[in-house]
Amino acid sequence: MKYFSRHIEFETLVRRAEAVASFDEAQAVHLADCKTCVSQMRKLENFFSVAKTEPATVPQFVTANLLNIYQQPKHAEKKSLAKRLFGSLVFDDWRPEFAVQERLSFLETRQLLYRADGYEIDLRLTFSNGKCQVSGQIFPDCAVGVIKIFSDSTTAQIDLNEHCEFVLPLIEEGIYNLQAEMSGETIEIESLSLLQ
């Protein structure tokens, strides 16, 4: 029997926690011996349990507390000044493989999660009449910062609050770049689609 030397992929744990897939024998053996995977599995099961009782979108603080996926890695290196980081998409609740759209969001709302070095950027896109409002939070919390979204024709900017949260004004649907500037670091998300 094959034993997993690496942790079980997050997407596999999500599908199992939703009861849309089951573990194969090797994954089950790994799960029995791996505290990290067991911990993530329990958090996901709790998350989906709460999601079933919520009437609409699960609040961001519930997502952060239950999944605990926004923590900075324990051995992350200190970041140098004027560092430019690029975010990569790791979760999109409109992608079919996650299959959570009907339970966790209205059709007009989309949740995206990006990672950039030791940061997590949780975005909520809310669509209305050809416009989109971008809100979210950056983890771990930062002392001060500014977030900006822009295209060739539109720019919107706002300060991050003390919990690194933000709510940008409504903008026309389209393709944008998003930048978060915090303590000498810039996180960039390029070609962010704000299209319903």
| pLDDT attached to residue 51 | 61
Confidence grade of residue 178 (pLDDT, cut at 50, 70, 90): very high
- Distance separating alpha carbons of residues 175 and 166, to the nearest angstrom: 19
Give 70 or 43, the one with higher predicted confidence.
43
Is residue 99 scored above 90 in pLDDT? no
* Lowest-confidence region among 31-45, 58-72, 169-183: 58-72
Question: Would you place residue 52 in the very low, low, confident or very high pLDDT band (cuts 50, 70, 90)?
Answer: low
pLDDT tens digit string along 123-149? 999 999 999 999 999 988 776 889 999
Domains in the chain with CATH codes: 10-53 (no CATH), 83-194 (2.60.40)
Of the pLDDT bands very low, low, confident and very high (cuts 50, 70, 90), residue 61 is low
pLDDT at 168: 96
SS (H, E, C) 117-150: CCEEEEEEEEEECCEEEEEEEEECCCCCCEEEEE
Tokens of 180: 């978060």
Provide φ and ψ at 48, rounded to 5°. Answer: -70, -30
User: What mean pLDDT do residues 60-64 have?
Assistant: 57
Lowest mean pLDDT among 9-13, 24-28, 55-59: 55-59
User: Average of pLDDT values for 26-52?
Assistant: 78
Q: What is the mean pLDDT of the chain?
A: 78
- Whether 16 has a pLDDT exceeding 50, the answer reads yes
Give dist(CA 60, CA 165) in Å, integer: 10
Mean pLDDT of 183-196: 91
Average pLDDT over residues 71-85: 57
What whole-number distance in Å separates Cα of residue 71 and Cα of residue 75? Answer: 11
Section 20-39 average pLDDT: 78
Q: What is the pLDDT of residue 91?
A: 87
